[in-house]
Amino acid sequence: MRVWIGIGVALLVLTGCAYKNSPLTFSPYMPKPATVLSSKSVQKVYLKSVVDNRPRQSIVASSTNASGQNVGYATTSTAVDVWVYDALKRGLSARGYEVVDTPFKEAKTLSVTIDELFAHYNGALLSGDNLTGTMQLSLHVKVGETTTVKKVSQSQNRWHTPIRSSEAFEPFLERLMNDVLVRAIDEIHAL
């Protein structure tokens, strides 16, 4: 009987400390209402494409323990390219743009690539910034015959309690993604 109790306690301790991975589902981007300057006509944007250039598109984060060993990854069930496409449509509309479905002469044409989106928790760091993340987008904006390429990127760092589940990455990554999208929309507006 004692053997079974000992085995049960050992299994409980081992499974309770194990890293739990469940796919992340990012909330839709909700832009803050923007003050739209009145102009003679509404500017139009043709959102041609959003392409995810990351080599492993479903993996968005990793976690290492105090020994530096990888204990798990965070994956997403949200297609990041679809999330960015939707976020750009919402953000540009809130900024006063009309997002059109077909290209035409008066519209800015926008193509976007997702170059990076990744976070890492370093369990070996007991103080300081043990959670880091980076996102980078490349914006290709064509106005008339001129195409401008802008890179929008941001890194975030902070201290976090030990991460034992992929779900702990979700609010950190959502904040990073929202911040980058606000900056991307500002860049598009400035062109």
- pLDDT score for 126: 77
Q: Which residues of 125-156 are buried (b: 16+ CB within 10 A; e: fewer)?
A: eeeeebbbbbbbbbbebbeeeeeeeeebeeeb
Q: Which residues of 73-93 are buried (b: 16+ CB within 10 A; e: fewer)?
A: bbbbebebbebbbebbebbbe
- pLDDT score for 77: 92
Kindly state the DSSP code that residue 169 receives in the 8-state scheme. Answer: G
Contact predicate 43/109, CB 8 Å: no
Lookup: tokens for 168: 């702990």
Q: How far apart are CA 58 and CA 133, in angstroms?
A: 16
- pLDDT score for 41: 58
- pLDDT score for 11: 34
- pLDDT score for 144: 86
- pLDDT score for 9: 36
- pLDDT score for 53: 96
Length of the chain: 191
Strand ranges, E, within 24-93: 44-52, 59-64, 70-75
Q: How far apart are CA 158 and CA 121, in angstroms?
A: 10
Lookup: tokens for 70: 């990888």
Q: Give the position of tokens 């001129």.
A: 146
Lookup: tokens for 159: 């201290």
- pLDDT score for 164: 84
- pLDDT score for 34: 61
Per-residue pLDDT of the chain (191 residues; tens, 9 = 90+): 554 444 433 333 333 456 677 788 888 888 877 655 545 457 899 999 999 999 999 999 999 888 888 888 999 999 999 999 999 999 999 999 999 988 888 889 999 999 999 999 998 887 788 899 999 999 999 988 899 999 999 999 988 888 888 898 999 999 999 999 999 999 998 88
- pLDDT score for 38: 46
- pLDDT score for 90: 94
CATH of range 39-190; options 3.90.1150.10, 3.40.50.150, 3.40.50.10610, 3.40.190.10: 3.40.50.10610
